[in-house]
Amino acid sequence: MSKHTEIRRITAPDIAARKGKEPVVCLTAYTAPMATLLDPHCDLLLVGDSLGNVVYGFDTTLPVTLDMMIAHGAAVVRASDRACVIVDMPFGSVEEGPAQAFRNAARVMAETGASGVKLEGGVHMAETIAYLVRHSIPVMAHIGLRPQSVHVMGGFKTQGREKSQWEALEADARAVAEAGAFSVVVEGVAEPLAVKLTEEVPIVTIGIGASAACDGQVLVVDDMLGMFPSNPKFVRRFAEIGKEIETAAATYAKDVRTRQFPAPEHTYTMKK
């Protein structure tokens, strides 16, 4: 029996059932090696369009394509056994309406084997979310700071720090819940509002730059591993892997230049 038949993968309904219970552990994953390492510890692996920044070096997520998301999503699914895998719908893949969104989301589901998709937007995306759910595609919503709307929002700005903003964000949360989303990412939202949203909506809230009171948390894995010189305020660096890589590369370069590597134990001898 293969390992893939021994372990039951967590599903979108399993995540939905965690409302108000043990917090959902979520990290982004973009590659097979990383997915293998994270899978035993995470309930949900998010193949985020943040790969545009992290993997490809773009300034925003806007250049990310559907084909890129499918390639990375498939890699993460292949390399994992346990976690629910959700793939971001990139900019331009759902905005035209429910029919376009379904065609593209169906490709993601069929070509990656993922458990569902994530799309940004609240009230204005409710009709699309409902259409996808009716057509058997589990949807994770995303409200608050929406990276795909960075130009409209005037940059990466925290949302809900003024009470005048609360009504619209609460309406977004209610709309995606009523449309059938199984969970919602709440990003870059003032902590008191994140608490209120979590208490008011019946679906799982996944916080990032929000509140510990959310039903779960997500971080960009490269951020929490310390792969970049600096991070947003809401990121805790759980390791400093970037510095370790720099040190290893410097040691390797030194040993190559001084001909200490490869040593005899790293080379092959002739057969007798």
Give the residue numbers marked as catalytic.
187
The Cα 177–Cα 203 span in angstroms is: 6
Ramachandran angles phi, psi of 158, nearest 5°: -60, 140
Q: Is 172 annotated as a binding residue?
A: no
Which residues, in sequence order, are CB contacts of 152 under 8 Å at separation 6+?
A: none
The three-point CA angle 44-115-225 to 5° equals 30
Specify the 3-state DSSP secondary structure of 87. strand
CB crowding 139-166: b at 16 or more within 10 Å, else e? bbbbbbbbbbebeeeeeeebbbeeeebb
Q: From its phi and psi, is residue 155 left (phi > 0), alpha (psi between -120 and 50) or beta?
A: left
Q: Is 222 annotated as a binding residue?
A: no
Q: Are strands 24-28 and 216-219 parallel, antiparallel or unpaired?
A: parallel
Q: Is 49 annotated as a binding residue?
A: yes
Q: Is 88 annotated as a binding residue?
A: yes
Binding residues: 49-50, 88, 118, 120
Binding residues for 3-methyl-2-oxobutanoate: 49-50, 88, 118
